[in-house]
Structure 1
Amino acid sequence: MKKTLIAVAAAAALTATSAFAEITFGAWLRVITGVGSNGEDVVMGTTNSWGGVRPARLNAAGTSEDGKAGFKLDFYFENDEIWGHDYNIRIGDNGYLWVKPIDQIQLSIGKFDGGETGFRGDFCYGSWNWLRPFNWIVEDEGLTFKGSHKDGLMARITPIDNLVVLVQLPVMNAKWGGNNNGYVAKTETEDAKNTAADVFKNAAYMASYSIEGVGTLKAGFFGADDEKTVEGKKYNQTGTVNVAFDLNAIENLYVTVGAFFDIADKEMGEWHEKMKFTAGASYQVSDAMKFSVSGGYVKYMDKCSWLGNKDNAFGIGAGVDYVIMDGLTLNADVRYKNVGYGKKGDDGSVSFLAGVVKSVGGNASLQAGFQGSTNGCGLVQADTGIPAVEKDDFVWAIPVGLSVFF
């Protein structure tokens, strides 16, 4: 995303001095429209890769001249039917301020996008950037490692070179006194999760260490403290342990692997993931061609009725990006998940994409292609997507996308 820089003079609050700050404005947008079939009717509509319609946005960020303080704020204008209302303007992925009391510590507070921690293990390619099919084991964003866990206070600590320690406390979700009105007593019917113990139980703790010329090792604990009552008995989820390794020791080859282990009682539900293993690899064959492959295996707490009474599932995908000529690139991929589809839920589903992306000037691109998915696997998990009418339907689409970036 390109950014426009504006130098502004800002008077320091309650002082007679002034300081200069660098303010950056940027935007990145994608909207996808076209024609498709839900297995029964040929339909038309507009969405984007993740659902909803976002025709405008503005990202603003500021940094003080000495690099000791700043902020980040996103405004989105969108028709977001996921939330049950029409066009609206709202704070987007980020809305936070930060300060660096010393070079080794940065403190931030507010709302964070999943990638703001710098820890999230992304591996995005192919249909992730088009109409995303339903048949994922884990999404391309956060494939091998979780990102931002909670809104609130984030402390990023770099005690030595190549080591990063990060703590996120969900203090934005806690209420003084446990009530939206502020400093009042918590009622008997409210479970505001606002005590100091609650906050630390729901916190996230992460660390990463980079070995130059080899890769980066990451580990984290993402607290949950989630209670569920089953047949009058209470059961608890404590949190998730996540470890990952990103390998970049071989030229043109990138490999990332991850593992997730959930600490919870079995009675939390059949849908609950007990453990998950994921991996992705990409190889830049030449300046014009790159191959990608990813996959995952998940073990659930119990046998799942919606998976044909199985307690595990796996998925795999592969894709290629090929520069046909300057400004014109081919995207193609195929993904497969082994269960969760068909009338009995014990069938698999194949999804595929073949499309081209054409750059338009220096700030935009157009994309057009063909996508399909089998056995009732829809495209885009949102009200603006294309769900299958019947569980064994073939869903297809001819998407046309517009992207702009400033």
Structure 2
Amino acid sequence: MKKIVGTIAAIALATSAVFADVNVGMGFSRGIFTPFAYDGKDARMDISTSWGGQPRIGGSISGASEDCGVVGDFKFDGGNLAVNDNAYIWVKPTSWLKLNIGQSFDDTLRGNACFGMWDWLRVGGFSITKVLVPGTPGSGNYSVDPATGLIVQATPAVPAVTVKLETTGILTGEDFIFTRICNNPLDGAWAPLVGAILMADPIDGLHIGVGLPIDGYNNQKMEDVFAKMQVQAGYTIDGVGTIKAQWIGGGKNYVKKVGDDPIVWGQIEAAFCLKAVEDMTLDIGAKFRTKEDSPVDVAAYWSMPFDALRVHASVGITYTPKAVGDDAVIGLVVGAAVDYDLGNGVGVTGDIRFGHSFCSADGYDVDPAFAFGAWVNKGIANGTIGIGVQGALRQQIRDFTPSDIDDFTFAVPVRVQCFF
């Protein structure tokens, strides 16, 4: 009997140890209610998140021992249960090596420039289609079907030209300086990688990450996986900063000239994050692709506290050779913001953004884009609530697409966040 009791006690002890780090709970949730917005033509209302779609109601399930574990994120956006970012199993065969299998990220070396309106209603570039009538002053002689909102006929009845007018985004944010290991990182979506991620920290200060994309959880040719492989490394010098570099494979589909066999192309990134000044962030990086005449990006983000005030600034320059005939285009985005702590859980934020493109080609004439915002936010139990005002010219404020390319738009968002 004593042996049986002892055995049961041992099993119970082992079981409690194994399941000691099992967690099920609600995670980060955010909803933005916009009771009033103006798109240049109509007053609008909306519910959304900062990144679009329905309000985020998020949660997570995880279980871990010292050497292995599982992570599963879920969300109830739009009233539907679905997998969120992470759904993977991990194992640590040694103390310095970790393997993720499934759907996950490696954020260790990621370089962001997230501040101000990034956490409210984000702005971005947009496009509209218009029918221009040759010989008619202005750009608006057309009729619109009120049921569909589509242009149906140009007036007067003369030959018309349909054109697509576009603006580019001016907001900086995630992966602006250095891209995390993720899925299809060159398309700008930065979804979690489906496949395997190896992470190694063999010596103090050194981190190496390798992302192996295996699309759709199906078997892949090894050469196809390696052609889109992501490899990055970072070394931290104590008291100085972190040096980062990586290769992001774009696939074996680049043909330099007709008749050549396709070759592997990709993007090379290098960055440095200064950590020599206490509480200051200074991250500088560059990105360029191995395809001929591809854009080259240089970016920087700086942030510094001054008592109750924190200041943010970012700048990005994109040089695109032969963008207009043989002429290059230089794109510039600049942002600056301040956060001020008023005490008692109340804070205020102000943010302004600017973007413009420059080119010496004849007839190249692009107007600059602007955006601004001001918000007040209050901490509450397990969350925050805030309200603000945002405006933009030649930018789209979240779901509110301007009626015309030069329409000024604005919105009044109310944001609620919960953390459990």
What band does the TM-score fall into relative to the shorter chain? Answer: 0.7 to 0.9
Q: How far 1:55 moved relative to its partner?
A: 4.2
Question: 3-state DSSP class of the match of 1:347?
Answer: coil
Tell me the residue number matched to 1:357.
377
1:117 aligns with 2:116: no
- Equivalents in 2 of 1:201, 1:124: separation in Å? 30
Q: Identical aligned pairs, as a percentage? A: 29
Tell me the residue number matched to 1:27.
27
- Equivalents in 2 of 1:206, 1:62: separation in Å? 28
Q: Which residues in structure 2 correspond to 1:83-162 (within 5 Å)? A: 87-113=79-105, 116-134=106-124, 136=169, 139-150=172-183, 151=193, 152-162=195-205
Q: How far 1:377 moved relative to its partner?
A: 0.9
Give the partner amino acid of 2:182. Answer: H
Question: 3-state DSSP class of the match of 1:303?
Answer: strand
User: How many residues are matched?
Assistant: 348
Contiguous gaps of at least 5 residues in structure 1? 1-10, 80-86, 177-193, 267-272
2:170, 2:369 within 8 Å by CA — same for their partners in 1?
Answer: no
TM-score, with structure 1 as normaliser: 0.79
Q: How far 1:90 moved relative to its partner?
A: 1.4
- Equivalents in 2 of 1:212, 1:299: separation in Å? 34
- Equivalents in 1 of 2:252, 2:367: separation in Å? 32
Deviations 1:105-129 (A, max 9, x none): 101111124xx33121112110101
Question: 3-state DSSP class of the match of 1:198?
Answer: helix
Q: How far 1:314 moved relative to its partner?
A: 0.8
Question: 3-state DSSP class of the match of 1:92?
Answer: strand
2:254, 2:265 within 8 Å by CA — same for their partners in 1?
Answer: no
**Cα–Cα, structure 1 residues 175 and 402, in superposed 2: closer, same or farther, change >3 Å?**
same
Q: How far 1:139 moved relative to its partner?
A: 3.4
Tell me the residue number matched to 1:339.
357
2:181, 2:209 within 8 Å by CA — same for their partners in 1?
Answer: no
- Equivalents in 1 of 2:304, 2:169: separation in Å? 22
1:163 to 191, 206, 219: 206
Deviations 1:188-231 (A, max 9, x none): xxxxxx31111111110010101111111111001111637899
1:195 to 210, 213, 221: 221
Bigger mean CA deviation after superposition, 236-245 or 153-162: 236-245
Q: How far 1:17 moved relative to its partner?
A: 11
Question: 3-state DSSP class of the match of 2:81?
Answer: strand
**Cα–Cα, structure 1 residues 129 and 144, in superposed 2: closer, same or farther, change >3 Å?**
same
**Structure having the higher Rg:** 2
Question: 3-state DSSP class of the match of 1:197?
Answer: helix
- Equivalents in 2 of 1:243, 1:228: separation in Å? 23
1:367 to 386, 391, 406: 386
1:285 to 303, 306, 310: 306
1:57, 1:77 within 8 Å by CA — same for their partners in 2?
Answer: yes
Deviations 1:56-96 (A, max 9, x none): 221222211xx1001111111113xxxxxxx4321111111
TM-score, with structure 2 as normaliser: 0.77
- Equivalents in 1 of 2:217, 2:32: separation in Å? 38
1:100, 1:106 within 8 Å by CA — same for their partners in 2?
Answer: yes
Contiguous gaps of at least 5 residues in structure 2? 1-10, 125-167, 184-192, 359-363
Q: How far 1:19 moved relative to its partner?
A: 2.9
- Equivalents in 2 of 1:221, 1:58: separation in Å? 33
- Equivalents in 2 of 1:231, 1:259: separation in Å? 27
**Cα–Cα, structure 1 residues 40 and 310, in superposed 2: closer, same or farther, change >3 Å?**
farther
